[in-house]
A and B are shown apart, each in its own frame.
Chain A
Amino acid sequence: MAKILIVDDDPDIVLAARLCLQKAGHEVFDANNGDAGLRLMETVRPDLIILDVMMSTATDGFQTALKLRSPDPTSPLLGYRHIPILMLTAIRSTTDLRFAPDRDYLPVDAFMDKPIDPDDLAKKVNELLTKK
C-alpha cells in the first residue's frame, strides 16, 4: 500500500483515479492545482504523484513538476525530488509519438493519456512504485 497524491482540477478524473487506486489498495490524496499539491507534500509525504498537465494554466502541471525536481539546494521541496511523478496528458495521440518520458525535456517518470483506463493506471502505478 502506498500514499498517492493526485493533482488535477477535474473532479471526475480525480474520482475515477481515486476509485481505481483505492481498489488496488492505495491511500489517495488530492489537490486541485499545482500550488495546493505542493502544500500537501509536507503533510502527506506521498510515495507517488499523479500530475495533470493543464490545470488553472496551460503549464501548471509542467511548472509543478519542475519545482518538485528542482536541483536548487535552497529549494524547500528538495526532499521530494526522488518521488516518482506520473503525468496525465490530454495531448492528442500524434503528439504522443514524441512525448516519451525524457529527463532532459521534462522531469517526470511516465506519461499517461486521458481518459484513465483503470487497468493501465493500476499497472503503471505499480511499475513506478516498484522501480522506486
Chain B
Amino acid sequence: MKDHSSVPEPVDVPTSVDLSNNSARLIRMRWLAGLAMLIVTPVCVTVLNVPLPAALYALGIGILAYNALMEWAYRRQPRSIVTPQIVFDWLALAIFVQLTGGIESPAVTFFLFHVLLASILLSRRSAFVYAVLVIAVVAAIAAADAIGLTIHHQVLLALPPELYREPLFIVGTLIFFSITVLVTVSLITPIVSDLRDHERQLASLCMTIQVLPRSLDLPRVLDQLARSVTHSLQAKAASIGLLDETGSQMQIAAAYGLSQKYLATGLVQMAHSPIDQEALRGYPIIVEEATTDQRFQYPAEIAAEGIHSILCAALIGRRGPLGVVRVYGWRPHCFNKRDAEFVSTVARQGAMAIENALTYGELRHTDETKSQFVRAVTHELRSPVVGAQSLVRTMTHDLAGGLNDMQRDILKRLSDRLDVLKMLIDDLLDLAAGKIEGLQGELTDISVEATVLNVVDHLRAQAEEKHIELQVDVLQHGLTVTATEDGLGRIFLNLIGNAIKYTPPGGQVHIGLEQSHNEALATVSDTGIGIPEVDVPHLFEEFYRASNVKRNGITGTGLGLAIVKDLVERYEGRVSVQSQVGGGTTLTVVLPLAR
C-alpha cells in the first residue's frame, strides 16, 4: 500500500514546534518590554516620585542583551531557543517582581502570561506543573524578602512599610494568587484540548473527503478509512467490516492497530452480533465497557485484545448497508457523542468511496470477461476461415493436381469471397476489441511520425504493385500524442490502406503531418475515385460503403473508417473528410499533443 502520506497522521500534544513558532512573537514583545523598562523607570522616578531601584535599568539592559542573543540564535536555529528563553524570562520576571516590591509588586500578575501560554501550548499535566512552579517562585520571592534574605524594595509608599513581613498578608496574597493561577489553567486547558480535538477531526475529515473518493482501489480505500478514524479520534485501533452478499455475515476487510490474533477471530454472524445489527439501523453506538457488554459475538477475544471502549457506526451506501466501522479504545469511556457524530460523517463519505470502488471492480471484471470473449471469438471465427483460405490456395497453386479453367475461375471466386469474409471478421473484431479496450495496450505518448513511417513501410509493397506513388511530408518533427501503439497504427493503416485501395493505378497518395496549435494534424490525400456528396455524412458509420465503391467492385467491409473514428475519439481527437467525385479524397485526423 503506497501513499500513506495522504492519511492524516496524529496531531500531537503541543510540542516545542508550537513554542518555536511563537518565539518570533516573544522576541518582539521582549524588545518592547526591555525598552519600556528603560523609558518608564525614569518617568516613574522623576514624575511620579515612585522610588524604583536603579537596578531596574540593569535589568532592562539585561533583557535587551539576552533578547539580542535569542534573536541571533533564533535566526540560526529556531528550535534552539525554546528552553533558554523560558529560563531567562522566568529569571527576568522574578527579578523584576523582587525589585518592584516582591509580594507587594503589581507585577506579580505578569506571571499569568506564562501560565496562559503554558495552558495553551502544553499538555494539561505540564500546564499544572508549570502553574505550581509559578506559585512556588512567587512564594520564594515573598519568603526571601520576609526573612531578609533579599533587600525589600518598597515602591508603593502608600502601603504600610512592614506589610511584606506580615504573615497573614503574605499567605492571603499567595492563596489568592494560587487560586487565580490554578483556575486559569483548569479553565483553559479543557477548552484548548477540545479545540485541538476539533481541529484534528476537521483536518482528518478534510483529508477523508478529499482522498477517499479519488481512489478506486477497494483495499486502499478501506485501509485509509481505518487509519483516518483511528488517528482523528486518537483511538488505539479501528476495523472495517463488510457484509457479504446475503447480509448475514460480516468480514473484517481492513483494520488498523489490531493484532493478527484478533483479526483471525473469524466472521461476524450478524444474528449473534446485536451490536452490529443496532449500528446498521443508522445510529452510531458507543460502548463504554465492552468486556461486560452482552451484545458482542466474541467478548473473550475483545477482552484478550485489551479493548474496553468501542464506537460502532454503519457504512450505508446508496444500495443499502455495506458494513460497520468500529473504533477501539484501550480504556473505558473513551468516546463521546461528538466522536460518534464524527465517525458517522466519515462513515458516510467512506461508504460512498467503498461503493465507487466496488462498482469499479465489477466494471473491470465485466470488461475483462468481454475482452476474453472477444479473444476467444477471434480465434474461433478466424481459424476455419484461414484454414479454408489456405486449402483453396493450395488448389489455385496447382499443389493438389491440375485444374481446368472453369474450376480455376470458381476457386478464384471462392478465394475472393473468403478474403472478404476474413477482412470482415478482422475489422469486426477490431472494432469490438477497440470498443472494449481501445485496441490492446496502455495509453502512452507515441510519436506520430514514427507510426506513420512504420505504416507507410508496411504498405509500400502494396502501393508499388499498383504503381501508386506514396509521398510523406513531415512539416513538424517530434509530435507525440497519447494513444495505444496498436490503435494509432490502426488509424493510419486504415486511412493509408484505403487511399491506396481507392486510387487507380498510377495515382498518388500524399501523407502530411504538421502541428496546429496544441494538436497534431495528419492528412491523407489521394487522387482516387472520390466520395459522392450524399455518402459523406455516413462515411464513418459502421458497415457503410459509398455507392461508387460498390459499383466499382472494390472489396471492403465498411468498417475501416468506423474503426478510425472510434479510435480517434478515444484519443480525444477528431476526424474529417473532404472529397469530390473524381477529384480525390482528403482525410484529416487531429489529435491533441501529449502533455
Q: Interface of A with B (CB < 8 Å)? A: 10, 12-13, 15-17, 19-20, 23, 54, 58, 90, 92-98, 114-119
Contact = CB atoms under 8 A, between A and B. Distances in A.
Contact of B430 (A92, A98, A118, A119): A92
Given A97-B493, A114-B389, 4 more contacts: A19-B400, A20-B399, A97-B486, A115-B387
Contacts of A98: 485-486, 489
Given A90-B382, A92-B429, A118-B399, A12 B486 contact: no
Most interface-central of B385, B390, B393, B422 (chain A CB within 10 A): B390
A92 B385 CA distance: 13
A12 B390 contact: yes
A16 B394 contact: yes
Interface of B: 375, 378-379, 382-383, 385-391, 393-394, 397, 399-400, 422, 426, 429-430, 439-440, 454-455, 458, 485-486, 489-490, 493
14 contacts: A12-B390, A13-B387, A19-B399, A90-B378, A90-B382, A93-B426, A94-B489, A94-B493, A98-B485, A114-B390, A115-B386, A115-B387, A116-B393, A119-B397
A1 to B, nearest CB: 17
Which 7 residue pairs spanning A and B have beta carbons closest together? A115-B389, A12-B387, A16-B390, A114-B386, A116-B390, A19-B399, A115-B386
Nearest to A52: B383
Contacts of A13: 386-387, 390
A65 B287 CA distance: 65
A51 B391 CA distance: 18
Contacts of B440: 95
A93 B394 CA distance: 22
Contacts of B490: 94
Given A114-B390, A115-B386, A118-B393, A94 B430 contact: yes
Contacts of B385: 115
Contacts of A97: 454-455, 458, 486, 489, 493
Most interface-central of A16, A95, A116 (chain B CB within 10 A): A16
A97 B493 CA distance: 9
Contacts of A10: 383, 387
Contacts of B458: 96-97
Most interface-central of A90, A98, A115, A118 (chain B CB within 10 A): A115
Given A20-B399, A23-B399, A94 B486 contact: yes
A114 B485 CA distance: 22
Contacts of B455: 97
A28 to B, nearest CB: 12
B423 to A, nearest CB: 9
Nearest to A21: B399
Contacts of B486: 94-95, 97-98
Nearest to B429: A92
B426 A117 contact: no
Contacts of B394: 15-16, 19-20, 118
Contacts of A58: 375, 379
Given A92-B429, A114-B386, A12 B485 contact: no
Given A15-B391, A118-B397, A94 B386 contact: no
A129 to B, nearest CB: 19
Nearest to B418: A115
Nearest to A113: B386
A96 to B, nearest CB: 8
Contacts of B390: 12-13, 16-17, 114-116
B489 A90 contact: no
Contacts of B430: 92, 94
Contacts of B383: 10, 90
Given A12-B387, A13-B390, A97-B493, A115 B426 contact: no
Nearest to B385: A115
Contact of B386 (A90, A93, A119): A90
Contacts of B391: 12, 15-16
A62 B426 CA distance: 22
B361 to A, nearest CB: 24
A2 to B, nearest CB: 18
A9 to B, nearest CB: 9
A15 B387 CA distance: 9
B439 A94 contact: yes
Contacts of B429: 92
Contacts of B422: 115
A58 B376 CA distance: 9
A54 B397 contact: no
Contacts of A15: 391, 394
A54 B493 contact: no
A104 to B, nearest CB: 17
Contacts of A118: 393-394, 397, 399
Contacts of A17: 390
A77 B426 CA distance: 37
A52 B493 CA distance: 25
B393 to A, nearest CB: 6
A30 to B, nearest CB: 14
A120 B400 CA distance: 17
B454 to A, nearest CB: 6
Given A94-B486, A94-B489, A117 B387 contact: no
B591 to A, nearest CB: 17
Nearest to A118: B397
Nearest to A95: B486
A19 B399 CA distance: 6
Contacts of A119: 397
Contacts of A117: 393
A65 B383 CA distance: 21
A118 to B, nearest CB: 4
A64 to B, nearest CB: 17
A114 B394 CA distance: 13
A115 B393 contact: yes
A116 B397 CA distance: 12
A54 B391 CA distance: 19
A32 B489 CA distance: 34
Given A90-B379, A115-B393, A118-B393, A12 B388 contact: yes
